[in-house]
């Protein structure tokens, strides 16, 4: 492992992988935070963990886990602001997950938006109310993208601090 850690290609390759993960945060299907985390884990395994780098890695892990949940929280929160029912939000979440696999990379977002529109339209018998909920879930998704991207940048900066100072 020491040979890999001292090679001239190791850190640049990890940086490229993290860059791909960061770019992937702009798409619904690519688990960018997990990709960044895996690259940092590889660095830790190859270079070894000290007490301080272990604590730093634990914080990075918590950021990754929280960031991966943020989509659902922001989308649901925004939809609830317009009066969307919990059943609509759950159906949108399930449709979004299915859409991610059926029509990548934007199928998840498209399926979630269409699902909440249809369920709210059926429940309230008013297309305008359904459109409000659809707009709010899309707004929440936008907030989530910005938040996840920021979390990804923080994770990478923490890794840079690890490389330079720990």
For 1-57, write each residue's pLDDT tens digit. 778 877 899 999 999 999 999 998 887 667 899 999 999 999 999 999 999 999 999
Beta-carbon count within 10 A of 77 CB: 15
Task: Identify the pLDDT of residue 137.
Answer: 87
State pLDDT tens for residues 80-116. Answer: 888 888 899 999 988 988 887 888 777 888 999 999 9
Q: Residue 150 — very low, low, confident or very high, per pLDDT cuts 50/70/90?
A: very high
| pTM score, whole prediction | 0.84
State pLDDT tens for residues 133-147. Answer: 999 988 988 888 899
Token duo for residue 28: 């619904």
Give dist(CA 69, CA 53) in Å, integer: 24
Decide if 50 contacts 82 (C-beta within 8 A).
no
Decide if 22 contacts 149 (C-beta within 8 A).
yes
Residue where the block lists tokens 């990709």: 35
Nearest of 51, 31, 30, 53 to residue 41 by alpha carbon: 53
Q: What would the mean pLDDT of 69-78 be, rounded to a whole number?
A: 83
Token duo for residue 95: 């449709």
Task: Identify the pLDDT of residue 70.
Answer: 85
Give dist(CA 138, CA 132) in Å, integer: 10
Token duo for residue 73: 């929280």
Token duo for residue 3: 């040979």
């Amino acid at each position: 492992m020491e040979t890999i850690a001292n090679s001239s290609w190791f850190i640049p390759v990890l940086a490229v992988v993290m860059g791909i993960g960061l770019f992937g945060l702009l798409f619904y299907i690519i688990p960018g935070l997990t990709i960044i985390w895996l690259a940092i884990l590889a660095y830790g395994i190859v270079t070894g963990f000290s007490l301080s780098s272990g604590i730093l890695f634990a914080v990075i892990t918590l950021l990754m886990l929280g960031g991966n949940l943020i989509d659902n929280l922001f989308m649901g929160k925004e939809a609830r602001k317009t009066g969307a029912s919990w059943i609509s939000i759950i159906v949108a979440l399930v449709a979004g997950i299915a859409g991610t696999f059926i029509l990548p990379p934007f199928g998840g977002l498209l399926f979630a938006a269409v699902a909440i529109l249809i369920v709210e339209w059926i429940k309230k018998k008013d297309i305008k109310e359904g459109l409000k909920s659809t707009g709010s879930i899309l707004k929440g998704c936008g907030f989530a993208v910005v938040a996840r991207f920021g979390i990804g940048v923080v994770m990478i900066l923490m890794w840079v601090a690890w490389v330079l100072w720990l």
